[in-house]
Amino acid sequence: MNDAIQDLRLQVMWTRLISVVEEAAQALMRTAFSTTVRDAGDLSAAVFDTQGRLVAEAVTGTPGHVNSMAAGVRHFLARFPVAEMEEGDHYITNDPWLTAGHLHDITVVSPIFANGRVAGLIGCCCHQLDIGGLGQGPDGRSIFEEGLQIPLLKLASRGRVNADLMEILRQNVRTPLQVEGDVMSYIASNEAGARRVREMLQEFALEGLDGLGDYIIAQSGAATRARIARLPRGTWHNAMTIDGYDRPITLRASLTIEEDCIRVDYAGTDAAVPYGINVVLNYCRAYTVFGLKCVVAPDVPNNHGALAPFVVDAPLGSILNVQRPAPVAARHVIGQMLPDVVLGCLDQALPGRAPAEGSSCLWSVQLRGKLPDGAGFDTVFFNSGGAGARARQDGLSGTAFPSGVRAMPVEVTESAAPIVIWRKELRADSGGPGRQRGGLGQTVEVATRDGSPFEVLAMFERVDHPALGRSGGAPGAAGVVSLASGTAMRAKGRQQIPAGDRLVLELPGGGGLGPVAERDPARIAADLAEGRISAEAARRDYGHN
Protein backbone atom coordinates (compact mmCIF):
# COMPACT_ATOMS: atom_id res chain seq x y z
CA MET A 1 0.00 0.00 0.00
CA ASN A 2 2.70 2.48 0.95
CA ASP A 3 4.74 1.58 -2.10
CA ALA A 4 1.73 2.22 -4.28
CA ILE A 5 1.21 5.61 -2.72
CA GLN A 6 4.87 6.42 -3.13
CA ASP A 7 4.60 5.45 -6.80
CA LEU A 8 1.58 7.67 -7.16
CA ARG A 9 3.41 10.61 -5.63
CA LEU A 10 6.23 10.12 -8.13
CA GLN A 11 3.74 10.23 -10.99
CA VAL A 12 2.17 13.41 -9.66
CA MET A 13 5.62 15.00 -9.39
CA TRP A 14 6.45 13.93 -12.94
CA THR A 15 3.37 15.76 -14.20
CA ARG A 16 4.40 18.72 -12.07
CA LEU A 17 7.95 18.87 -13.46
CA ILE A 18 6.67 18.99 -17.04
CA SER A 19 4.43 21.92 -16.09
CA VAL A 20 7.37 23.66 -14.39
CA VAL A 21 9.51 23.62 -17.55
CA GLU A 22 6.48 24.68 -19.55
CA GLU A 23 6.19 27.73 -17.29
CA ALA A 24 9.87 28.48 -17.79
CA ALA A 25 9.45 28.31 -21.58
CA GLN A 26 6.48 30.70 -21.39
CA ALA A 27 8.51 33.16 -19.35
CA LEU A 28 11.28 33.02 -21.98
CA MET A 29 8.97 33.84 -24.87
CA ARG A 30 7.37 36.71 -23.01
CA THR A 31 10.59 38.41 -22.00
CA ALA A 32 12.82 37.68 -24.99
CA PHE A 33 13.95 40.24 -27.54
CA SER A 34 15.06 37.98 -30.40
CA THR A 35 12.15 37.37 -32.80
CA THR A 36 13.49 33.83 -33.08
CA VAL A 37 12.50 33.21 -29.46
CA ARG A 38 9.54 35.55 -28.94
CA ASP A 39 7.67 34.96 -32.20
CA ALA A 40 9.14 31.74 -33.57
CA GLY A 41 9.54 29.74 -30.34
CA ASP A 42 13.10 28.67 -31.21
CA LEU A 43 13.96 27.69 -27.64
CA SER A 44 13.78 24.97 -25.06
CA ALA A 45 13.64 24.61 -21.31
CA ALA A 46 14.41 21.49 -19.29
CA VAL A 47 15.15 20.05 -15.85
CA PHE A 48 18.08 17.72 -15.08
CA ASP A 49 19.15 15.59 -12.15
CA THR A 50 22.47 16.17 -10.39
CA GLN A 51 24.19 13.78 -12.79
CA GLY A 52 23.09 16.03 -15.66
CA ARG A 53 20.52 13.59 -17.03
CA LEU A 54 17.47 15.13 -18.74
CA VAL A 55 14.40 14.52 -16.58
CA ALA A 56 11.71 16.72 -18.16
CA GLU A 57 11.48 19.09 -21.10
CA ALA A 58 8.97 21.73 -22.18
CA VAL A 59 6.78 20.38 -24.96
CA THR A 60 7.27 23.68 -26.80
CA GLY A 61 10.97 22.93 -27.36
CA THR A 62 12.55 22.37 -30.75
CA PRO A 63 14.43 19.06 -31.16
CA GLY A 64 17.79 20.57 -32.08
CA HIS A 65 17.81 22.34 -28.76
CA VAL A 66 16.29 19.88 -26.36
CA ASN A 67 18.15 16.81 -27.40
CA SER A 68 21.40 18.74 -27.75
CA MET A 69 21.03 20.19 -24.29
CA ALA A 70 20.29 16.68 -23.01
CA ALA A 71 23.79 15.79 -24.13
CA GLY A 72 25.42 19.03 -23.06
CA VAL A 73 24.65 19.47 -19.40
CA ARG A 74 27.24 16.92 -18.30
CA HIS A 75 29.91 19.30 -19.71
CA PHE A 76 28.65 21.99 -17.37
CA LEU A 77 28.94 19.55 -14.47
CA ALA A 78 32.48 18.57 -15.43
CA ARG A 79 33.51 22.23 -15.37
CA PHE A 80 31.39 23.26 -12.38
CA PRO A 81 31.02 20.29 -10.04
CA VAL A 82 27.87 20.15 -7.96
CA ALA A 83 29.89 20.36 -4.76
CA GLU A 84 31.19 23.81 -5.73
CA MET A 85 27.87 25.30 -6.85
CA GLU A 86 26.40 28.12 -4.83
CA GLU A 87 22.94 29.58 -4.64
CA GLY A 88 22.48 32.29 -7.28
CA ASP A 89 25.04 30.77 -9.67
CA HIS A 90 24.24 30.60 -13.37
CA TYR A 91 26.48 29.05 -16.03
CA ILE A 92 26.58 29.86 -19.72
CA THR A 93 28.09 28.71 -23.00
CA ASN A 94 27.42 28.84 -26.71
CA ASP A 95 30.15 26.34 -27.56
CA PRO A 96 28.73 24.45 -30.57
CA TRP A 97 30.55 21.25 -29.61
CA LEU A 98 29.14 21.20 -26.10
CA THR A 99 25.50 22.07 -26.79
CA ALA A 100 23.36 22.97 -29.80
CA GLY A 101 25.76 23.11 -32.70
CA HIS A 102 26.23 26.81 -33.51
CA LEU A 103 27.15 30.02 -31.71
CA HIS A 104 23.65 31.43 -32.07
CA ASP A 105 22.27 28.99 -29.53
CA ILE A 106 23.10 30.10 -26.01
CA THR A 107 22.60 27.63 -23.18
CA VAL A 108 22.26 28.75 -19.56
CA VAL A 109 22.21 26.14 -16.79
CA SER A 110 21.47 26.90 -13.16
CA PRO A 111 21.47 24.84 -9.97
CA ILE A 112 18.17 24.39 -8.17
CA PHE A 113 18.91 24.86 -4.48
CA ALA A 114 16.66 23.41 -1.82
CA ASN A 115 17.54 23.35 1.87
CA GLY A 116 21.01 24.60 1.07
CA ARG A 117 21.78 21.71 -1.29
CA VAL A 118 21.73 21.27 -5.05
CA ALA A 119 18.54 19.38 -5.75
CA GLY A 120 18.86 19.33 -9.53
CA LEU A 121 19.56 21.61 -12.48
CA ILE A 122 17.44 23.71 -14.78
CA GLY A 123 18.50 24.88 -18.21
CA CYS A 124 17.35 26.77 -21.25
CA CYS A 125 18.70 27.01 -24.76
CA CYS A 126 17.64 29.86 -27.05
CA HIS A 127 18.35 31.01 -30.58
CA GLN A 128 20.09 34.36 -30.13
CA LEU A 129 19.52 36.54 -33.21
CA ASP A 130 22.76 38.46 -32.87
CA ILE A 131 26.02 36.92 -31.70
CA GLY A 132 28.31 39.23 -33.70
CA GLY A 133 30.60 37.95 -36.44
CA LEU A 134 29.35 37.30 -39.95
CA GLY A 135 25.77 36.61 -38.95
CA GLN A 136 23.95 33.33 -39.36
CA GLY A 137 25.01 32.19 -42.81
CA PRO A 138 27.27 29.49 -44.26
CA ASP A 139 30.02 31.89 -45.34
CA GLY A 140 32.42 31.65 -42.41
CA ARG A 141 35.50 29.59 -43.03
CA SER A 142 36.06 28.85 -39.37
CA ILE A 143 34.25 29.21 -36.08
CA PHE A 144 36.33 32.33 -35.39
CA GLU A 145 34.51 34.24 -38.13
CA GLU A 146 31.05 33.19 -37.07
CA GLY A 147 30.71 35.30 -33.95
CA LEU A 148 31.59 35.56 -30.29
CA GLN A 149 32.53 32.29 -28.62
CA ILE A 150 31.46 32.04 -25.00
CA PRO A 151 33.27 29.16 -23.29
CA LEU A 152 31.80 27.46 -20.23
CA LEU A 153 31.69 30.42 -17.84
CA LYS A 154 29.91 31.64 -14.76
CA LEU A 155 27.21 34.02 -16.00
CA ALA A 156 26.37 34.91 -12.41
CA SER A 157 27.98 34.10 -9.14
CA ARG A 158 25.86 34.06 -5.99
CA GLY A 159 23.30 36.30 -7.69
CA ARG A 160 25.82 38.78 -9.11
CA VAL A 161 25.93 38.91 -12.91
CA ASN A 162 29.41 38.55 -14.41
CA ALA A 163 29.92 42.18 -15.45
CA ASP A 164 33.11 41.50 -17.42
CA LEU A 165 31.41 38.88 -19.53
CA MET A 166 28.46 41.17 -20.20
CA GLU A 167 30.79 43.94 -21.29
CA ILE A 168 32.60 41.65 -23.71
CA LEU A 169 29.25 40.45 -25.01
CA ARG A 170 27.92 43.97 -25.54
CA GLN A 171 31.09 45.02 -27.35
CA ASN A 172 30.87 42.09 -29.78
CA VAL A 173 27.30 42.35 -31.03
CA ARG A 174 25.33 44.74 -33.21
CA THR A 175 22.37 45.21 -30.87
CA PRO A 176 23.93 45.18 -27.37
CA LEU A 177 20.87 46.19 -25.35
CA GLN A 178 18.64 43.53 -26.86
CA VAL A 179 21.28 40.83 -26.45
CA GLU A 180 21.75 41.81 -22.83
CA GLY A 181 17.96 41.76 -22.38
CA ASP A 182 17.86 38.27 -23.86
CA VAL A 183 20.56 36.97 -21.54
CA MET A 184 18.72 38.44 -18.56
CA SER A 185 15.57 36.66 -19.70
CA TYR A 186 17.45 33.33 -19.59
CA ILE A 187 18.34 33.95 -15.95
CA ALA A 188 14.79 35.05 -15.10
CA SER A 189 13.33 31.95 -16.71
CA ASN A 190 15.67 29.55 -14.89
CA GLU A 191 15.00 31.31 -11.60
CA ALA A 192 11.25 31.07 -12.09
CA GLY A 193 11.55 27.36 -12.83
CA ALA A 194 13.91 26.70 -9.91
CA ARG A 195 11.48 28.39 -7.54
CA ARG A 196 8.70 26.07 -8.68
CA VAL A 197 10.81 22.96 -8.29
CA ARG A 198 11.80 24.07 -4.80
CA GLU A 199 8.16 24.52 -3.83
CA MET A 200 7.38 21.07 -5.16
CA LEU A 201 10.20 19.49 -3.15
CA GLN A 202 8.93 21.23 -0.04
CA GLU A 203 5.38 20.08 -0.64
CA PHE A 204 6.47 16.47 -1.03
CA ALA A 205 9.16 16.71 1.67
CA LEU A 206 11.94 15.66 -0.70
CA GLU A 207 15.64 16.50 -0.50
CA GLY A 208 16.32 16.48 -4.22
CA LEU A 209 15.22 15.40 -7.67
CA ASP A 210 17.46 12.38 -7.98
CA GLY A 211 15.03 9.73 -6.75
CA LEU A 212 12.29 11.18 -8.92
CA GLY A 213 14.74 11.39 -11.82
CA ASP A 214 15.62 7.71 -11.44
CA TYR A 215 11.95 6.83 -11.53
CA ILE A 216 11.13 8.95 -14.61
CA ILE A 217 14.17 7.74 -16.49
CA ALA A 218 13.54 4.10 -15.62
CA GLN A 219 9.86 4.26 -16.63
CA SER A 220 10.55 6.05 -19.90
CA GLY A 221 13.49 3.81 -20.72
CA ALA A 222 11.45 0.69 -20.13
CA ALA A 223 8.56 2.00 -22.24
CA THR A 224 10.85 2.91 -25.12
CA ARG A 225 12.67 -0.44 -24.97
CA ALA A 226 9.33 -2.23 -24.97
CA ARG A 227 8.41 -0.47 -28.22
CA ILE A 228 11.75 -1.37 -29.76
CA ALA A 229 11.38 -5.00 -28.71
CA ARG A 230 8.26 -5.24 -30.87
CA LEU A 231 10.15 -4.16 -34.01
CA PRO A 232 11.77 -6.57 -36.47
CA ARG A 233 15.51 -7.16 -35.86
CA GLY A 234 18.07 -6.43 -38.54
CA THR A 235 20.14 -3.81 -40.25
CA TRP A 236 18.96 -1.50 -43.01
CA HIS A 237 20.81 1.07 -45.10
CA ASN A 238 19.91 4.34 -46.75
CA ALA A 239 21.74 7.16 -48.49
CA MET A 240 20.51 10.62 -49.33
CA THR A 241 22.26 13.18 -51.49
CA ILE A 242 21.60 16.86 -50.94
CA ASP A 243 22.89 20.09 -52.48
CA GLY A 244 25.67 21.03 -50.06
CA TYR A 245 27.41 24.39 -50.42
CA ASP A 246 29.11 24.11 -53.79
CA ARG A 247 28.94 20.37 -54.45
CA PRO A 248 26.54 17.61 -53.47
CA ILE A 249 26.87 15.87 -50.13
CA THR A 250 25.86 12.30 -49.49
CA LEU A 251 24.62 11.24 -46.07
CA ARG A 252 24.77 7.48 -45.45
CA ALA A 253 23.21 5.66 -42.55
CA SER A 254 22.88 2.12 -41.36
CA LEU A 255 20.17 1.43 -38.84
CA THR A 256 20.26 -1.66 -36.65
CA ILE A 257 17.34 -2.71 -34.51
CA GLU A 258 18.50 -4.80 -31.56
CA GLU A 259 16.52 -6.30 -28.75
CA ASP A 260 16.64 -3.22 -26.57
CA CYS A 261 18.11 -0.45 -28.67
CA ILE A 262 18.31 1.11 -32.11
CA ARG A 263 21.78 1.92 -33.42
CA VAL A 264 22.40 4.42 -36.20
CA ASP A 265 25.84 4.67 -37.77
CA TYR A 266 26.60 7.33 -40.34
CA ALA A 267 29.76 5.57 -41.58
CA GLY A 268 30.37 6.39 -45.24
CA THR A 269 28.94 9.90 -44.93
CA ASP A 270 30.89 12.62 -46.77
CA ALA A 271 33.64 14.54 -45.05
CA ALA A 272 33.25 17.97 -43.45
CA VAL A 273 33.43 20.97 -45.80
CA PRO A 274 35.10 24.39 -45.48
CA TYR A 275 31.69 26.12 -45.19
CA GLY A 276 29.36 26.68 -42.26
CA ILE A 277 26.99 23.79 -42.93
CA ASN A 278 28.93 21.27 -40.82
CA VAL A 279 27.17 19.46 -37.99
CA VAL A 280 28.54 18.63 -34.54
CA LEU A 281 27.77 15.17 -33.16
CA ASN A 282 25.37 16.48 -30.48
CA TYR A 283 23.15 18.09 -33.09
CA CYS A 284 23.43 15.08 -35.39
CA ARG A 285 22.18 12.87 -32.56
CA ALA A 286 19.44 15.33 -31.63
CA TYR A 287 17.69 15.26 -35.00
CA THR A 288 18.39 11.60 -35.68
CA VAL A 289 16.75 10.50 -32.45
CA PHE A 290 13.89 12.94 -32.93
CA GLY A 291 13.06 11.40 -36.32
CA LEU A 292 13.14 7.85 -34.93
CA LYS A 293 11.14 8.75 -31.85
CA CYS A 294 8.32 10.21 -33.98
CA VAL A 295 7.73 6.75 -35.43
CA VAL A 296 8.87 4.37 -32.69
CA ALA A 297 7.70 5.97 -29.43
CA PRO A 298 6.05 9.36 -30.03
CA ASP A 299 4.04 9.31 -26.80
CA VAL A 300 6.83 8.57 -24.33
CA PRO A 301 7.80 11.86 -22.63
CA ASN A 302 11.23 13.01 -23.76
CA ASN A 303 14.02 12.55 -21.21
CA HIS A 304 17.28 10.69 -20.67
CA GLY A 305 15.49 7.36 -20.35
CA ALA A 306 13.53 7.83 -23.55
CA LEU A 307 16.63 8.93 -25.47
CA ALA A 308 19.13 6.37 -24.17
CA PRO A 309 17.93 3.37 -26.25
CA PHE A 310 18.86 5.30 -29.41
CA VAL A 311 22.58 5.07 -30.04
CA VAL A 312 23.96 7.32 -32.76
CA ASP A 313 27.48 7.63 -34.10
CA ALA A 314 29.17 9.37 -37.02
CA PRO A 315 32.79 9.13 -38.15
CA LEU A 316 35.09 11.75 -36.68
CA GLY A 317 35.75 14.43 -39.29
CA SER A 318 32.66 13.63 -41.32
CA ILE A 319 30.15 16.40 -41.95
CA LEU A 320 28.04 14.92 -39.14
CA ASN A 321 30.85 14.89 -36.57
CA VAL A 322 32.90 17.91 -37.47
CA GLN A 323 35.88 19.03 -35.39
CA ARG A 324 36.96 22.43 -34.13
CA PRO A 325 37.53 25.01 -35.60
CA ALA A 326 35.31 24.20 -38.59
CA PRO A 327 32.46 26.61 -39.34
CA VAL A 328 28.97 25.46 -38.27
CA ALA A 329 26.62 28.48 -38.28
CA ALA A 330 24.09 27.06 -40.81
CA ARG A 331 24.24 23.50 -39.49
CA HIS A 332 20.46 23.16 -39.55
CA VAL A 333 20.65 22.88 -43.35
CA ILE A 334 22.06 19.37 -42.96
CA GLY A 335 20.97 18.46 -39.45
CA GLN A 336 17.28 18.84 -40.30
CA MET A 337 17.74 16.33 -43.15
CA LEU A 338 18.70 13.53 -40.77
CA PRO A 339 15.16 12.37 -39.92
CA ASP A 340 14.61 11.80 -43.66
CA VAL A 341 17.81 9.74 -43.83
CA VAL A 342 16.98 7.44 -40.92
CA LEU A 343 13.29 7.21 -41.75
CA GLY A 344 14.47 5.87 -45.11
CA CYS A 345 16.10 2.99 -43.19
CA LEU A 346 13.14 2.51 -40.89
CA ASP A 347 10.73 2.36 -43.83
CA GLN A 348 12.44 -0.83 -44.99
CA ALA A 349 12.05 -2.40 -41.58
CA LEU A 350 8.50 -1.13 -41.01
CA PRO A 351 6.86 -0.49 -44.38
CA GLY A 352 4.08 2.07 -44.27
CA ARG A 353 5.05 3.85 -41.06
CA ALA A 354 7.51 6.52 -42.23
CA PRO A 355 6.45 9.59 -44.20
CA ALA A 356 8.11 10.42 -47.52
CA GLU A 357 11.00 12.87 -47.58
CA GLY A 358 10.09 16.50 -47.05
CA SER A 359 11.48 19.95 -47.65
CA SER A 360 12.86 19.44 -44.13
CA CYS A 361 15.40 22.27 -43.98
CA LEU A 362 13.82 25.46 -42.68
CA TRP A 363 14.28 28.26 -45.24
CA SER A 364 15.55 30.88 -42.89
CA VAL A 365 15.88 34.15 -44.86
CA GLN A 366 18.71 36.20 -43.41
CA LEU A 367 18.83 39.68 -44.98
CA ARG A 368 21.16 42.62 -44.50
CA GLY A 369 21.00 46.15 -45.89
CA LYS A 370 21.14 49.84 -45.13
CA LEU A 371 18.44 52.13 -43.81
CA PRO A 372 17.92 55.45 -45.63
CA ASP A 373 19.92 57.15 -42.84
CA GLY A 374 22.90 54.90 -43.51
CA ALA A 375 22.53 52.67 -40.46
CA GLY A 376 22.61 48.96 -41.18
CA PHE A 377 19.83 46.47 -40.59
CA ASP A 378 19.88 42.71 -40.17
CA THR A 379 16.78 40.64 -40.15
CA VAL A 380 15.62 37.06 -40.43
CA PHE A 381 12.30 35.39 -41.10
CA PHE A 382 11.45 31.69 -41.25
CA ASN A 383 9.59 29.90 -44.03
CA SER A 384 8.77 26.24 -44.48
CA GLY A 385 8.31 24.11 -47.56
CA GLY A 386 6.13 21.03 -47.88
CA ALA A 387 6.41 17.98 -45.64
CA GLY A 388 6.41 14.44 -46.94
CA ALA A 389 3.21 12.54 -47.65
CA ARG A 390 2.08 10.21 -44.83
CA ALA A 391 0.72 6.69 -44.96
CA ARG A 392 -2.89 7.81 -44.93
CA GLN A 393 -2.69 11.57 -45.31
CA ASP A 394 -1.25 14.10 -47.72
CA GLY A 395 1.87 15.88 -46.53
CA LEU A 396 1.51 19.13 -44.59
CA SER A 397 1.90 22.20 -46.80
CA GLY A 398 4.17 25.04 -45.73
CA THR A 399 4.84 23.46 -42.34
CA ALA A 400 8.07 23.03 -40.41
CA PHE A 401 9.27 19.46 -39.91
CA PRO A 402 11.42 18.32 -38.18
CA SER A 403 12.04 21.81 -36.79
CA GLY A 404 9.53 22.84 -34.12
CA VAL A 405 9.59 26.59 -34.77
CA ARG A 406 6.87 28.92 -36.03
CA ALA A 407 7.02 31.51 -38.81
CA MET A 408 7.06 35.16 -37.74
CA PRO A 409 4.03 37.15 -38.96
CA VAL A 410 4.77 39.19 -42.09
CA GLU A 411 3.44 42.31 -40.37
CA VAL A 412 5.85 41.80 -37.45
CA THR A 413 8.83 41.23 -39.75
CA GLU A 414 7.98 44.34 -41.77
CA SER A 415 7.61 46.42 -38.63
CA ALA A 416 11.01 45.33 -37.36
CA ALA A 417 13.00 45.93 -40.57
CA PRO A 418 12.55 48.13 -43.70
CA ILE A 419 11.60 45.26 -45.99
CA VAL A 420 8.44 44.32 -47.85
CA ILE A 421 7.36 40.74 -48.36
CA TRP A 422 5.38 41.05 -51.56
CA ARG A 423 4.20 37.50 -51.76
CA LYS A 424 3.95 34.49 -49.49
CA GLU A 425 1.61 31.83 -50.79
CA LEU A 426 1.42 28.13 -51.55
CA ARG A 427 3.33 26.97 -54.61
CA ALA A 428 1.10 25.01 -57.01
CA ASP A 429 2.43 21.74 -58.43
CA SER A 430 5.22 21.50 -55.84
CA GLY A 431 3.78 18.56 -53.85
CA GLY A 432 5.18 15.22 -55.01
CA PRO A 433 2.46 13.18 -56.77
CA GLY A 434 1.42 9.90 -55.22
CA ARG A 435 -1.47 8.05 -53.62
CA GLN A 436 -0.84 10.54 -50.86
CA ARG A 437 0.47 13.83 -52.24
CA GLY A 438 3.45 15.61 -50.71
CA GLY A 439 2.83 18.92 -48.96
CA LEU A 440 3.12 22.09 -51.05
CA GLY A 441 6.03 24.45 -50.75
CA GLN A 442 5.46 28.18 -50.92
CA THR A 443 6.62 31.13 -52.96
CA VAL A 444 8.10 34.13 -51.16
CA GLU A 445 9.08 37.46 -52.73
CA VAL A 446 10.95 40.07 -50.74
CA ALA A 447 12.61 43.46 -51.33
CA THR A 448 13.55 46.55 -49.38
CA ARG A 449 10.80 49.12 -48.81
CA ASP A 450 12.67 51.88 -50.67
CA GLY A 451 14.01 49.62 -53.40
CA SER A 452 17.62 49.96 -52.23
CA PRO A 453 20.00 47.04 -52.79
CA PHE A 454 20.34 44.39 -50.08
CA GLU A 455 22.14 41.13 -49.32
CA VAL A 456 20.90 37.64 -48.61
CA LEU A 457 22.96 35.17 -46.58
CA ALA A 458 21.53 32.22 -48.49
CA MET A 459 21.31 28.81 -46.81
CA PHE A 460 18.63 27.01 -48.77
CA GLU A 461 18.46 23.28 -49.50
CA ARG A 462 16.78 20.86 -51.90
CA VAL A 463 17.36 23.12 -54.89
CA ASP A 464 19.29 20.51 -56.88
CA HIS A 465 18.07 17.48 -54.97
CA PRO A 466 14.32 17.38 -54.33
CA ALA A 467 12.57 15.43 -51.57
CA LEU A 468 12.08 11.87 -52.82
CA GLY A 469 8.83 9.98 -52.67
CA ARG A 470 8.32 6.65 -50.94
CA SER A 471 6.68 3.37 -51.97
CA GLY A 472 6.18 4.50 -55.54
CA GLY A 473 5.39 8.15 -54.83
CA ALA A 474 7.13 10.82 -56.92
CA PRO A 475 9.54 13.50 -55.68
CA GLY A 476 8.36 16.95 -54.63
CA ALA A 477 9.40 19.96 -56.69
CA ALA A 478 12.92 21.22 -56.07
CA GLY A 479 13.45 24.69 -54.65
CA VAL A 480 14.31 27.68 -56.82
CA VAL A 481 16.22 30.81 -55.82
CA SER A 482 16.16 33.71 -58.26
CA LEU A 483 15.60 37.41 -58.78
CA ALA A 484 12.24 38.77 -59.95
CA SER A 485 14.10 40.09 -63.00
CA GLY A 486 14.86 36.49 -63.91
CA THR A 487 18.49 35.96 -62.88
CA ALA A 488 19.18 32.67 -61.12
CA MET A 489 20.81 32.87 -57.69
CA ARG A 490 22.93 30.40 -55.73
CA ALA A 491 21.21 28.54 -52.95
CA LYS A 492 24.10 29.09 -50.54
CA GLY A 493 26.23 32.05 -49.60
CA ARG A 494 26.07 35.82 -49.38
CA GLN A 495 24.76 37.55 -52.53
CA GLN A 496 23.52 41.02 -53.58
CA ILE A 497 20.02 41.84 -54.75
CA PRO A 498 20.37 44.95 -56.96
CA ALA A 499 18.34 48.14 -56.44
CA GLY A 500 14.73 47.81 -57.56
CA ASP A 501 14.82 44.02 -57.80
CA ARG A 502 13.23 41.38 -55.58
CA LEU A 503 14.46 38.07 -54.20
CA VAL A 504 12.14 35.23 -55.20
CA LEU A 505 12.19 31.98 -53.24
CA GLU A 506 10.22 28.96 -54.42
CA LEU A 507 10.34 26.49 -51.57
CA PRO A 508 10.51 22.75 -52.18
CA GLY A 509 7.51 20.47 -51.86
CA GLY A 510 7.32 17.17 -49.98
CA GLY A 511 7.64 13.78 -51.65
CA GLY A 512 4.58 11.70 -52.52
CA LEU A 513 3.76 8.28 -51.04
CA GLY A 514 2.35 5.30 -52.90
CA PRO A 515 1.63 4.91 -56.62
CA VAL A 516 -0.08 7.83 -58.33
CA ALA A 517 -2.54 5.39 -59.94
CA GLU A 518 -3.99 4.69 -56.49
CA ARG A 519 -4.87 8.30 -55.73
CA ASP A 520 -8.55 8.88 -55.12
CA PRO A 521 -9.86 10.73 -58.24
CA ALA A 522 -11.97 12.95 -55.98
CA ARG A 523 -8.77 14.17 -54.29
CA ILE A 524 -7.21 14.92 -57.67
CA ALA A 525 -10.29 16.89 -58.69
CA ALA A 526 -10.26 18.77 -55.37
CA ASP A 527 -6.56 19.62 -55.75
CA LEU A 528 -7.31 20.92 -59.23
CA ALA A 529 -10.29 22.99 -58.08
CA GLU A 530 -8.25 24.48 -55.26
CA GLY A 531 -5.31 25.33 -57.50
CA ARG A 532 -2.94 22.99 -55.65
CA ILE A 533 -2.20 21.33 -58.96
CA SER A 534 -2.53 22.89 -62.40
CA ALA A 535 -4.60 21.35 -65.20
CA GLU A 536 -1.37 20.48 -66.96
CA ALA A 537 0.10 18.72 -63.95
CA ALA A 538 -3.18 16.87 -63.37
CA ARG A 539 -2.92 15.48 -66.88
CA ARG A 540 0.81 14.85 -66.82
CA ASP A 541 1.28 13.48 -63.30
CA TYR A 542 -2.10 11.92 -62.59
CA GLY A 543 -3.54 11.23 -66.05
CA HIS A 544 -6.57 13.28 -65.01
CA ASN A 545 -8.55 15.17 -67.64
Partner 1 sequence: MTPNDKTARIGADIGGTFTDVVLETPSRRYSIKVLTTYDAPERGLLDGVAALLAQAGLAPADVGFIVHGTTLATNAILERRGARTALLTTAGFRDVLELGTESRFDQYDITMDAPAPLIPRPLRRGVPERIAAGGEVLLALDEDAVRAVARDFLAAGVESVAVAFLHSYANPAHERRAGEILAEAMPGVTVSLSCEVSPEMREYERFSTTAANAYVQPIVASYLGRLDAKLRAGGFDCALFLMLSSGGLTTVQTAARFPVRLVESGPAGGAIFAASIAAERGIDRMLALDVGGTTAKICFVDQGRPKTSQVFEVDRAHRFRKGSGLPLRIPVIEMVEIGAGGGSIARLDGTGRLTVGPQSASSEPGPACYGRGGAKPTVTDADLVLGRIDPTAFAGGKLRLDETAAATAMDQVRAWEAGPQVLALGISEIVDEAMASAVRVHAMEQGATVEDRSLVAFGGAAPLHAARIAEKLGIAEVVIPRSAGVGSAVGFLRAPVAYELSRSLHQRIAALDLEAVNAMLAEMGAQAREVVSAGGGDPAALVEQRVAYARYCGQGYEIAIDVPARPLTEADRAGLLAAFEAAYRAQYGGVVVALPVEILTWRLTVAAPAPQPVAVPGLAPERVVTPDSWRKVMDPASGQVHDFALVRRAGLRPGDHVAGPALIVEEETTTVVSPAFGATVDANHYLVLRRQGETAGARA
Q: How many CB atoms lie within 10 A of CB 245?
A: 21
Q: Which of 45, 209, 307, 426 binds partner 1 (CB under 8 A)?
A: 426
Q: Which amino acid is at 21?
A: V
430 makes contact with partner 1 (CB under 8 A): no
Q: How far is the CB of 528 from partner 1 (least distance, A)?
A: 10
The single residue among 233, 237, 423, 540 that binds partner 1, judged by CB under 8 A, is 423
User: At 153, is the secondary structure helix, strand, or coil?
Assistant: strand
Tell me which of 172, 348, 399, 495 binds partner 1, using CB under 8 A. Answer: 399
Q: Which stretch binds partner 1 (CB under 8 A): 236-244, 380-388, 455-463, 496-504?
A: 380-388
Cβ atoms of 440 and 416 closer than 8 Å: no
For 395, which DSSP code? P
Number of residues that bind partner 1 (CB under 8 A): 93
| 414 or 464: CB nearest partner 1 | 414
| Selected binder of partner 1 within 116, 411, 486, 545 (CB under 8 A) | 411
| 414 lines the binding site for partner 1 (CB under 8 A) | yes
The single residue among 397, 436, 448, 471 that binds partner 1, judged by CB under 8 A, is 397
Binding to partner 1 (CB under 8 A) within 335-364 occurs at 355
By CB under 8 A, the residues from 157 to 186 that bind partner 1 are 175, 177-178, 180-181, 184-185
106 contributes a contact to partner 1 by CB under 8 A: no
Write the CA distances from 216 to 13, 17, 73, 212, 287, integer angstroms: 10, 10, 18, 6, 22
- Is the Cβ of residue 252 or residue 470 nearer to partner 1 in the bound state? 470
Contact region with partner 1 (CB under 8 A), list: 34-42, 112-120, 327-335, 481-489: 34-42
Angstrom distances, CA of residue 176 to CA of 36, 47, 293: 16, 29, 39
Cα dist from 264 to 208, 244, 345, 355, 467, whole Å: 35, 22, 10, 19, 21
Q: How far is the CB of 271 from partner 1 (least distance, A)?
A: 32
Distances (CA, A) of 515 to 130, 214, 240, 431, 433: 46, 47, 21, 14, 8
**15 backbone φψ class: left, alpha, beta (φ>0; ψ -120 to 50):** alpha
Which residue, 23 or 464, has its beta carbon nearer to partner 1? 23
Per-residue burial over 433-456, b if 16 or more Cβ lie within 10 Å, else e, is bbbbbbbbbbbbbbbbeeebebbb
Closer by beta carbon to partner 1, 22 or else 265: 22
Give residues 278-317 in contact with partner 1 (rule: CB under 8 A): 293-295, 297-302
Residue of 7, 115, 109 whose CA lies nearest to 54: 109
Q: Which 216-275 positions form the footprint of partner 1 (CB under 8 A)?
A: 219-220, 222-223, 227
Q: How far is the CB of 249 from partner 1 (least distance, A)?
A: 25
Interface with partner 1 by CB under 8 A: which range of 89-97, 391-399, 459-467, 495-503? 391-399
> What distance in Å separates the CA atoms of residue 80 and residue 65, rounded to the nearest whole number?
21
| 378 to 175, 381, 413, 460: CA distances (angstroms) | 10, 11, 11, 18
Closest approach of partner 1 to the CB of residue 263, in Å: 21
Q: H-helix or E-strand containing 37?
A: helix 35-38
Which CB atom, from 140 or from 431, has the smaller least distance to partner 1? 431
Would you list the DSSP string of 200-241? Answer: HHHHTT-S-SHHHHHHHHHHHHHHHHHHHHTSPPEEEEEEEE
Site string for partner 1, 53-72 (x = CB under 8 A): ------x-x-x---------
Q: Are 545 and 528 in contact (CB under 8 A)?
A: no
- For residue 1, state whether it binds partner 1 (rule: CB under 8 A): yes
Task: Give residue 367's identity as a one-letter amino acid code.
Answer: L
Query: Please, which residue, 71 or 446, has the CB nearer to partner 1?
Result: 446
Q: Which 476-535 positions form the footprint of partner 1 (CB under 8 A)?
A: 529-532
